[in-house]
Amino acid sequence: MLAACVLAGGWVLCQARAPGKTGRDAKTSKDAKAQAGYKSPTCVAFSPDGRRAYVTNRTGASVSVIDAAAGKVAAEVRVGRRPTGVAVSPDGRWAYAANTADHSVSVIDARANKAVGSIQVGFEPTGLVVSPDGKRLYTANTISNDVSVVDTAARKQVARIPVGRAPTYLALAPDGKTLVVNNSLSHQPATDPKLTAHVSVIDTAAGKVIAEKRSGGTMLLGMGVAISADGQVAFAVHSRPNFNITPSQLGQGWVHTNALSIIPLAAGGKVITVLLDNVSSGMANPHGVALSKDGRRLFVSHRGVHQLSVVNLDALRALIKRTRPADLARAHLNLGYLWQYGGVVRRVGSGGLCPNALAVSPADGSVWVPNYFSDNVAVLDGMTGKLRRTIALGPPTKMTLVRRGEFLFHDGAHCFQQWLSCTSCHPDTRADGVNWDLLNDGRANPKNAKSLVGSWQTPPAMIRGVRASMEVAAEKGFLFIQFVQPTPDELEAVRAYLRSVPFIPSPFHRKADGSLDDQARRGRKVFARAGCAACHPPPLYTDMKKYDVRTRTMRDPKGTTYDTPTLLELYRTAPYLHDGRAATLEEVLTTYNPLDAHGTTSKLSKQELADLAAFLKAL
Amino acid sequence: MKTGVCPESVPGATLKRNGTKWSGVCGCCRGPAHYMREWTSLTRPGLRIGMWALAAAVLLAAAPAWAAPKGGGPGVFIDARGLRKDSARVFSVYRGNTCVKVARAGQVAAVAPGTYDVRVGFPSGWVAAPVEVKPGKPTVVPTGLFQFRTLTPPKMRSTVPQKLYHGRSYLVTGYQGQTARLLPGKYTVRYHAPTDRRQARMLKGWHVVGPFRANYNTERSLKRVCGPEQALHDLGRTFTDRGKKLTWRKLAPATQRNLQPQVRGVGFVYLATEFQAEAASMVQLVGFARGGMKVWLNGKLIRTVPMGRRTYITVRTEIFAPLRKGTNRLLIKTMASQYAYWPFGVGLEHWRSYDVTVRAGQNALPPQPATVPHAAQPAPVGGIKGIVFCQVPNRSDGRSGLHYEQFRIVRRPSAARICTLIPAAPNGTFTDLTGKHFAAAMQPDLSYDGKKIIFTARRAKDTYGVWNIYEMNLDGSGLRQITRDMGECSDPYYLPNEKIVFSSDVTGFRDEYDRDKARLLYTCNPDGSDAERITFNLSSDTASIVLQDGRILFTTWQHHGEHSGVDGTFAFGTVMPDGTQFNAFTGNQGQQNDTKSYAQQLTDGRVVYVDSAGHRHYNAGGLRAVDLSNPQKNHTVLTPGMVYNGYNLAGRYASPYPLPNGRMLCSYSPGRGTSALRTDPWETIHMGVYRFDFDAGRPGAIVFDDPTAQDYDALAVFKRPVPPIVPDVVDRRKTTGVMMCVNAYISDRPQQTKYARIGLLPPAKPGEIKAVRVTEGFGIEDTDRNRHKATVIDMLQMSFGSNSNAGNGFEQKRILGYAPVESDGSFSVEVPADKVLSLQTLDANGMAIETQLTWVWVRPGETRLCIGCHEPRDSALSNTDCIAMRRPATVVAEPKVKPYTIDFRRDIMPIIEKRCSGCHNPKKTSGGLDLRKGFELVFHRAGHRGRKIEAAMFNHAYESLLQAPPNRVGTLVISNAARHSPLIWRLYGKQLAFTDVRNPYKKKCNLMPPGKPLPEAEKRLFVEWVDLGAQWDNILGEDPLPGYNAKESKRMAIEVNRKLARPILNAEEAFKARCLECHDTRKLAPLRTIRPEQIAPLMKRMMAKRRGWIKPQEVTLISGYIRKNAKAPAKRK
């Protein structure tokens, strides 16, 4: 999911609803306290006059209201947990913040600087926009894979529009008629070599998706999106991974490239994807996108490298104009495309660590960049990109071991030529849903990326168990995936961070009090009956042994067995099985278990299967 | 007794000659003065004072009348006082257009009375003066002296060349203090001061018309007058050439240096441009092109450059021409060639000039030097602690002692030392760090904290000692040796993980080109332990640095096959510190054979390097910068000015080094020349350390310059960021690695087929590639230091050891195996690790479509992936689902697959004897082929460095197949390309693929032998033999095969090499080289106890026995050495 990195900091705060008995609570809650001092600014929005800026603080669970002229925090408004998206109503009267962990939107009275209410939306809302007339509010719900439409007057969710998997941010055309949603993951099974995420285009009047925009290359981890002032073109950032090929080297974009897609919103327009990397260095984890006031420059924040790409759109348009169509179709493969003439793109520092979703001030055109790990907002000159000032959101705090580990997990700048960070394949320490053929266990046998949550409790690590533990795997990841030698304390920090990430309880098939609903309760019985618990015993739902449940492919050597994964968080770790062949849990139980080698599921009725799937989804 | 007349202009003075000896008193100088001595020496055979003197001596002997006019008769006398070496030496006496006498200055020429022209010859021209010779009285040719003095500031004085002209004709180049003896008259001296901001500008805005068809590059074509020549500069005109309509069109700026992409085709073209001149002036037009050229300026033909035979050579011409004020029009006719690179360019140099009037018997001087403010005033450098640099004292004659070649450590300056200047300011403290420890020390590198240096050095006493790597603190303390027993080590650099990377020749094999020892990259611990080879090339890899991202960047000499001709190519490659992920960094941008060396990364991330024109000219040339955003394409020339055909007009730059904040240090010597190695005959190198002025594109303030030494390789002492440590991913337990390709059809090579030739063949067509062949190359290890001293040119002519005479494929190769290529172009193959490999893509017949011209390797356990065959280097991987990625790699490594090789004598000759010799033999040379049986070798007399050598290397059949006979164009075998070889077509009875347009076999391709095709297995042998380079000897090591007399061949090789060798003028070295071959340490006793009187007869005997081996010049030296070191034998009791 999203350059997910984003969310990671916040997970630690959601202790209360974690399904207990996993034996980690004491440790993590201690760390949660240690994290409490951090703000972790994530998104920024301006009042229409540009005099006030609203910054969501993910771990601070608040919205900082900044007096733009003075450059000081005027107020800090408590909101729900892990606020991410933020928007201000056109009249400046209300501000809205999407509370990702609470599945709600906080309404802030801009006069009183006080949260005055909350609106329940879909699961884990991330991006948030307000319509130009201020009547509607849209949130992109990462876990429920839809967009919530909220009536701001009634403060009520009025509709949910299904989009792609794990939508992150969205943008609304100036006329309010078109809504563009960037999705970070794909619904396709990982065995599909054509797997790609897409950008959903919604007609707000009809309340449905009218187009799914795909690029010539693979799209994944789509994050920020912006629409030009004329409403013709959307700019979306995403990564372009090469998971079909054994990535033998990191350089030259052989694992991840980081792309900007130029999406014509008119029907039939071809998406042009260009790379923000160049031949010698990557721009890991593009995140926020904002257009300059005059619409002639595009700012893209790169979370992994603590830099911004400043794209000169005039020069880019000219460049595209003189490129032959055949070359343009391959521009997403050309690391030198934006760099062949000077002046198309340049890189500027973000004024802090991990720049998140940025915004341009309507008052003076300056670019405001919330820097997640620096707890500040950097103000860059809208013309030159030079750092004007940084606004601290709280008192300076020292990074704890876990916080440092979290930072290193999201930091792509230390990686060889800054091509990627841990989050490039483990967004938010979970998985990107695709198969990678890494060299640690031989080649030509791609495996679905595994979620790292709980990996410290469930050795061995990796789906084939080639690493004895998370601790070993973490080190090897640095050495052989990022091609960088970590220092012992860096390694310890990352391990501590991975130990600190809790499982997030599923919002699916749960009652308001968090207990299982009826269907899931029935499913729990089926779970026991079908013999699932033999290898997936609670509380971690794994016996930490390796089996072949008759899913071995021709690509794997004979006798290959696979680690039994935990079933916790199944609701967010699709696709399933070692090579991600099953897009849904139902497929795991039926299509890919014809011989009952993976639990005796063939004798279950349709209803029982549905119940079992519901239970699994509720874990 | 004969009499002569003193050449001095004192009538009546007489000299006497007795036979060859002259005596008497000169009337002017009262004794057997200098002229007499010269005369005497001239007539004594065996002592030479230069070629012209010898010629004169011959003339003297042949024509007595000319030396001694009868009865003091009429003569021409030539005044020669104060004559200097570089000045006029030869005077020719002309009557009309006929030369009647040639004389040296000071000689006497007897001619009949009358009017003559006396011409004074210069290296590039002559001046004539009329002389009236009257009966009975000697006539003296009047001359005057002119002394060159430069008009530039003192720092530059000795190095600014001045060109002397008489009218429009160029005579000679002179330097500060030199004197020219000239005939009276008006002369012009032209020069350009190094301080001139723009020394040359390339003319732009060209229009082109053509190509007009022409016979293949003949002189006649150049003479053929076509439309544009008649309608000079009328760009509106159209022309018809053999039915084709031709119009003027604009030349795209990008193609101005290479006409081929724009013009495409064989023939000649006209190019026209207009440019403005602010005032009427004389300028120097410097043009380069291939083949012949005709140049018109403002409608007037000003130069015709004849075609010459070697059309593949870039011809450069310099024309002094008058520009008129306002618009000037230039029209050029130049011949096209079939080569992909067709260079063209015209530059304009504004030279300053002054006039000189030379009067008889007088000294002339240039006008008083004008004071030109020099930009390069010494100034301190801020932000750094000081500089570390290398210094080489000038030789006693004031010339540079710098003799700096990258791969040839033996030629490195013997007296180099590493010095510091702290702080880097005119008043800084100069310290010689290494003088007291080492005979020579150079190539310093600073640790990242700026506290230590690492360098290569040779110990003081050990004259023949190898170069090793040493480390030292910056204050001169803490000296320690790092490498031991690692051969000759050079180019050390600190790695971020505290290891060291350096070059060493310890593998002992000889490189592909000139058979010097190849140097490769190694890493070792700080104490020199655990040295590990990290690059696998058959030529040299050197000059490594560590980039800010942790990669090692190095200069790699790539030579496989016909890579940029026989010279190979010098590109930059990158590799991880563990030797994995070898990739091209930047290739040949600019000229074809530019040498790229001495890269450094500036603090702003750009990589700067020295770009030397031509190949093998290291560390001196222009500076270029590469932008890391796309190193293959984004490079800029930092030092504007033309670099062409071995000349860099912008001066010579060396050893750039980063300063804080993106600034840069560099070394610079004004003047022009090819490299530190090759210079203009009149040029002196004078390297100093400068700051580089990026805006002006020239050196800025001087940092340090010792007028008596060359100062270069300067490093700025400041704290540099330590690059990240790239982890070691080599699995040393494994013996193999995997090579994979996404799509072998992806290539950035042009699909052009019409004018393709080997080396420029088009990429494969879809579906054509069926398999890859993995070949392994071997460097030749030979303990005999003489055997492979010869260069590739020698090898081509004599081919000792292991190569064919085909002009490519220098190395012995063997086939490791084959792997299938999937329908989508992907393949994966498991190959032996740490071997020198090259891949060939094969068609359905198993014949090479493309041959990889870079040697590559995998480290143990490494997986290497490439996108395509010659894919664009800025391309990212595409997320393609390849068939080959879904299955295990095909293993082409032992023990699963056994490697094998194809050798002409062992494998091919028996088939030829069985199938071909019956019709192709001396009696029936069908098709001009002599494929006679047996291994009788063909002897040739080959020219080499002006000498003739007789050598025989191959038998008749081999030569017949690989050499173009006189009545044929092209050869039957094209090495490395079976599908393009007419021989293979004959075996298959059809043309298999396209080859050169001129190939006469295009239409006719009979099956051979007629009606009885070879069995498949034999055909396959032929194919593999040709694809491997059509090697005569492809068997590694000792060679027991018949027909190839290894012993005799080796003897002959040694013999020829000895004959070729230059005399050794150091007694000890000569002794070692000439005597220790047989008198090794055990057999030294007879020489040690030799009696002095035995030495001369022994040497005489040896001279007779080893003809041409011991050089005459060495005899005295060796005799002296033996005499000095011999101990008198103990007296017998």
Tens digits of per-residue pLDDT, B332-376?
888 766 566 677 888 777 677 788 888 876 777 766 543 333 345
Between A275 and A342, the more confident residue is A275
Question: pLDDT tier at B640 (50, 70, 90 boundaries)?
Answer: low
Region B572-585: mean pLDDT is 93
Question: pLDDT tier at B173 (50, 70, 90 boundaries)?
Answer: confident
Chain B within 8 Å of A555 (Cβ-Cβ)?
A: yes
Question: pLDDT tier at A46 (50, 70, 90 boundaries)?
Answer: very high
DSSP state string for B75-112: -EEE--TT--TTS--EEEEEETTEEEEEEETT-EE---
Closest residue in chain B to residue A259, using alpha carbons only = B876
Choose among B922, B848, B870, B562: nearest CA to B746.
Answer: B870
pLDDT the model gives residue B224: 78
For the stretch A436-451, pLDDT in tens is 988 877 778 888 999 9
DSSP SS3 for A170: strand
Task: Tell me which range, A275-284, B28-37, B107-116, is most confidently predicted by mean pLDDT.
Answer: A275-284
* H-run or E-run covering A319: helix A313-321
Q: Which of A194, A221, A244 should we substitute to test contact with B (largest number of B Cβ atoms within 10 Å)? A: A244
Nearest beta carbon to residue A246 from set B627, B865, B879: B865
B627·A254 Cβ contact <8 A: no
pLDDT the model gives residue B1036: 72
CATH 1.10.760.10 fits A518-617, yes or no: yes
Domain A402-500 CATH superfamily: Cytochrome c-like domain (1.10.760.10)
Question: pLDDT tier at B796 (50, 70, 90 boundaries)?
Answer: very low
Q: Does the structure show a pLDDT above 80 at A174?
A: yes
pLDDT the model gives residue A109: 96
Alpha helix (H) ranges present in A400-442?
401-410
B550·A416 Cβ contact <8 A: yes
Percent of chain A whose pLDDT exceeds 70: 94
A14, two tokens: 């959601």
A336·B630 Cβ contact <8 A: yes
pLDDT the model gives residue A23: 38
* H-run or E-run covering A378: strand A376-380
- Count of CB contacts below 8 A, A vs B? 138
Percent of chain B whose pLDDT exceeds 70: 66
Between B465 and B441, the more confident residue is B441
Between B997 and B730, the more confident residue is B730
B1122, two tokens: 């033996």
A252·B724 Cβ contact <8 A: no
Question: pLDDT tier at B138 (50, 70, 90 boundaries)?
Answer: low
B862·A248 Cβ contact <8 A: yes
What single-letter DSSP state applies at residue A283?
A: -
B854, two tokens: 């870079």
pLDDT the model gives residue B318: 72
Closest residue in chain A to residue B877, using alpha carbons only = A254
Query: Which residues in chain A have Cβ-Cβ distances shorter than 8 Å to B877?
Result: 242, 245, 247, 252-254, 333
Mean pLDDT rounded to a whole number for chain A: 90
Q: Does the structure show a pLDDT above 70 at B809?
A: no
* H-run or E-run covering A607: helix A606-617
Query: Which residues in chain A have Cβ-Cβ distances shorter than 8 Å to B880?
Result: 244-245
β-bridge partners, B335: B268
* H-run or E-run covering A146: strand A146-151
A484·B727 Cβ contact <8 A: yes
Nearest beta carbon to residue A335 from set B862, B876, B886: B876
Q: Chain B neighbours among A 334-353 (CB < 8 Å)? A: 334-337, 339-340
pLDDT the model gives residue B679: 42
A264-268, B192-196, B489-493, B555-559, range with the lowest pLDDT: B192-196
User: Counting Cβ atoms within 10 Å, is residue B125 exposed (0-12), middle (13-18) or buried (19+)?
Assistant: middle
Q: For residue B847, give Cα distances in angstroms to A378, A406, A504, B561, B762.
A: 62, 55, 61, 16, 15
pLDDT the model gives residue B177: 64
Region B840-854: mean pLDDT is 89
* Interface residues of chain B, partner chain A, Cβ below 8 Å: 497, 549-551, 576, 581, 583, 627-634, 724-727, 729, 738, 740, 742, 828, 862-865, 872-882, 885-889
Closest residue in chain B to residue A195, using alpha carbons only = B879
Q: Which of A332, A340, A411, A483 should we substitute to test contact with B (largest number of B Cβ atoms within 10 Å)? A: A483
For the stretch A292-327, pLDDT in tens is 999 999 999 999 999 999 999 999 999 999 899 999
Region B706-722: mean pLDDT is 90
Q: Chain B neighbours among A 255-284 (CB < 8 Å)? A: 257, 275, 277-281
Closest residue in chain B to residue A346, using alpha carbons only = B629
Query: Which residues in chain A have Cβ-Cβ distances shorter than 8 Å to B740?
Result: 246, 248
Q: End-to-end alpha-carbon separation of chain B, Å? A: 61
Choose among A271, A263, A204, A260: nearest CA to A237.
Answer: A260
Interacting residues of B868 by C-beta distance below 8 A, sequence separation 6+: B741, B742, B743, B744, B745, B746, B747, B825
B726·A246 Cβ contact <8 A: no
pLDDT the model gives residue B1126: 77
Question: pLDDT tier at A616 (50, 70, 90 boundaries)?
Answer: very high
A336·B742 Cβ contact <8 A: no
pLDDT the model gives residue A308: 96
pLDDT the model gives residue B639: 78
Nearest beta carbon to residue A336 from set B633, B727, B880: B633
A333·B581 Cβ contact <8 A: no
B628, two tokens: 């890391």
Between A198 and B1041, the more confident residue is A198
Between B787 and B651, the more confident residue is B651
Between B57 and A239, the more confident residue is A239
pTM of the model: 0.75
Percent of chain B whose pLDDT exceeds 90: 21
A443·B879 Cβ contact <8 A: no
Query: Which residues in chain A have Cβ-Cβ distances shorter than 8 Å to B550?
Result: 416
Q: End-to-end alpha-carbon separation of chain A, Å? A: 19
Q: How far is B642 from chain A (nearest CA, A)?
A: 23
Query: Which residues in chain A have Cβ-Cβ distances shorter than 8 Å to B891?
Result: none
Interacting residues of B102 by C-beta distance below 8 A, sequence separation 6+: B55, B56, B59, B90, B91, B92, B93
Angle between helices A401-410 and A488-500 (to 10 degrees): 100
A226-230, B102-106, B295-299, B1041-1045, range with the lowest pLDDT: B1041-1045
Across B861-991, where does the E strand assignment appear?
A: 863-866, 890-891, 937-944, 947-955
Q: Does the structure show a pLDDT above 80 at B45?
A: no
Closest residue in chain B to residue A342, using alpha carbons only = B634
Region A523-539: mean pLDDT is 92
Q: Which of B879, B885, B886 should we substitute to test contact with A (largest number of A Cβ atoms within 10 Å)? A: B879
For the stretch A126-163, pLDDT in tens is 999 999 999 999 999 999 999 999 999 999 999 999 99
Q: How far is B759 from chain A (nearest CA, A)?
A: 26
B38-42, B80-84, B604-608, B881-885, range with the lowest pLDDT: B38-42
β-bridge partners, A146: A141, A162
What's the distance, CA B379 to chain centroid? 36
Task: Tell me which range, A364-378, B247-261, B1084-1098, is most confidently predicted by mean pLDDT.
Answer: A364-378
pLDDT the model gives residue B2: 27
Query: Which residues in chain A have Cβ-Cβ distances shorter than 8 Å to B631?
Result: 279-280
Q: How far apart are CA B92 and CA A435, in angstroms?
A: 87
Question: pLDDT tier at B121 (50, 70, 90 boundaries)?
Answer: low
B146, two tokens: 């002119």
Nearest beta carbon to residue B630 from set A240, A339, A479: A339
Q: Chain B neighbours among A 457-496 (CB < 8 Å)? A: 478-480, 483-485
DSSP state string for A49-106: TSSEEEEEETTTTEEEEEETTTTEEEEEEE-SSSEEEEEE-TTSSEEEEEETTTTEEE
Query: Which residues in chain A have Cβ-Cβ distances shorter than 8 Å to B742?
Result: 245
pLDDT the model gives residue B606: 93
Q: Which of B629, B633, B728 should we substitute to test contact with A (largest number of A Cβ atoms within 10 Å)? A: B629
**Range(s) for CATH 1.10.760.10 in chain A?**
402-500, 518-617
What's the distance, CA A213 to chain centroid? 19
CB B843 within 8 A of CB B765: no
Nearest beta carbon to residue B876 from set A333, A437, A479: A333
Q: Does the structure show a pLDDT above 80 at B428?
A: yes
CB B678 within 8 A of CB B617: yes
Q: How far apart are CA A498 and CA A408, in angstroms?
A: 11
Chain B within 8 Å of A560 (Cβ-Cβ)?
A: no
A303-317, B378-392, B1068-1082, range with the lowest pLDDT: B1068-1082
For the stretch A186-214, pLDDT in tens is 999 999 999 999 999 999 999 999 999 99
Half-sphere exposure of B908 (CA within 13 A, CB side): 27
B246, two tokens: 């031709």
Q: How far apart are CA B1019 and CA B1028, in angstroms?
A: 14
Region B83-93: mean pLDDT is 50
Query: Which residues in chain A have Cβ-Cβ distances shorter than 8 Å to B888?
Result: 444
- Put residue B655 in one of left, alpha, beta given phi > 0 → left and psi -120 to 50 → alpha: left
For the stretch A361-385, pLDDT in tens is 999 999 999 999 999 999 999 988 9
Q: Does the structure show a pLDDT above 90 at B40?
A: no
CB A204 within 8 A of CB A177: yes
Query: Which residues in chain A have Cβ-Cβ distances shorter than 8 Å to B882?
Result: 244-245
Q: How far is A252 from chain B (nearest CA, A)?
A: 6
A244·B876 Cβ contact <8 A: no
CB B1099 within 8 A of CB B1115: yes
pLDDT the model gives residue A90: 95
Query: Which residues in chain B have Cβ-Cβ distances shorter than 8 Å to A334?
Result: 872, 874-876
For the stretch B65-74, pLDDT in tens is 333 333 334 4
Region A486-498: mean pLDDT is 95
Say what the ipTM of the complex is. 0.90
Q: How far apart are CA B1056 and CA B798, in angstroms?
A: 9
B630·A279 Cβ contact <8 A: yes
Report the 3 state secondary structure along B356-420.
EEECCCCEECCCCCCCCCCCCCCCCCCCCCEEEEEEEECCCCCCCCCCCCCCCHHHCCCCCEEEE
Q: Chain B neighbours among A 112-171 (CB < 8 Å)? A: none
Q: How far is B500 from chain A (nearest CA, A)?
A: 17
Region B495-519: mean pLDDT is 83
Question: pLDDT tier at B1030 (50, 70, 90 boundaries)?
Answer: confident
pLDDT the model gives residue B388: 96
Question: pLDDT tier at B1121 (50, 70, 90 boundaries)?
Answer: confident
Nearest beta carbon to residue B879 from set A241, A252, A336: A241
